[in-house]
A and B are shown apart, each in its own frame.
Chain A
């Protein structure tokens, strides 16, 4: 069966520090991968999605970036965090030919 791993579960980082969140999927090949952010009390915002290695589409211009160095690995990064980067970050995958997406448990990031 397919599983998605996302870590860490919680993170507290100072303003201006770098960020690296990692997400890996097991049990499937060539999945579509997604990063979402949910600010407190707000909806889910699609940040990046990827349909293959090295193929990244950015939905919202900001100080975040994403990379997909391997088929089942998706990394969200920032060189310098802002207070506004605080939120609940979710990674998800979907089959290439399937409509449903499956989400990780999320990382709650607090920038202080």
Chain B
């Protein structure tokens, strides 16, 4: 079972920041939060991961709450190419289990 809860879909205007929430209230102390996205008909693409601290890379920022029970993926300037299903995953072992994700629509 996926250990995360995400809204099924979200809209964001092109050029604006897209903020995708994820709840993981049962996360354990040594479990990472990962984000992936899947563009239609392609394999998932790794975006970012974090344990406790906020993280930023060339694709996105990850904000993790202090109690680690939720996180937000931020795409700072969304483009039409960011239209995809975004998956938030929590795990520490070798299995990588995907939930249903959030379908993000970028509106022109």
Chain A residues close to B by CB (< 8 Å): 32, 34, 36, 43-44, 46, 49, 51, 57, 59, 88, 90, 92, 94, 99-106
Chain B residues close to A by CB (< 8 Å): 32, 34, 36, 38, 41-46, 49, 87, 94-101
Say whether, besides A46-B96, A59-B95, A99 and B32 are in contact (CB < 8 Å): yes
**Chain A residues whose C-beta falls within 8 Å of the C-beta of B98 in the assembled complex:** 36, 43-44, 46
Having A100-B49, A101-B44, one finds 20 other A-B pairs with CB under 8 Å, namely A36-B98, A43-B99, A44-B44, A44-B98, A46-B95, A46-B98, A49-B94, A51-B94, A57-B95, A90-B44, A92-B43, A92-B96, A100-B34, A101-B36, A101-B96, A102-B46, A103-B44, A104-B43, A105-B43, A106-B42
**In the bound complex, CA of A51 to CA of B93 (Å):** 11
**Chain A residues whose C-beta falls within 8 Å of the C-beta of B45 in the assembled complex:** 103
- Determine the residue in chain A with the shortest Cβ distance to B91: A99
Total number of residue pairs linking A and B with CB closer than 8 Å: 49
- Determine the residue in chain A with the shortest Cβ distance to B98: A44
**In the bound complex, CA of A46 to CA of B100 (Å):** 13
Say whether A106 contacts B43, CB under 8 Å.
yes
Identify which of B87, B94, B101 gathers the most chain A CB atoms within 10 Å of its CB. B94
Consensus secondary structure, chain B interface: loop
**Chain B residues whose C-beta falls within 8 Å of the C-beta of A43 in the assembled complex:** 98-101
Q: Can you list 29 A-B contacts (CB < 8 A)?
A: A36-B98, A43-B98, A43-B99, A43-B100, A44-B38, A44-B44, A44-B87, A46-B95, A46-B97, A46-B98, A49-B94, A49-B95, A49-B96, A57-B95, A90-B43, A90-B44, A92-B44, A92-B96, A99-B49, A100-B46, A100-B49, A102-B46, A103-B43, A103-B44, A103-B45, A104-B43, A106-B41, A106-B42, A106-B43
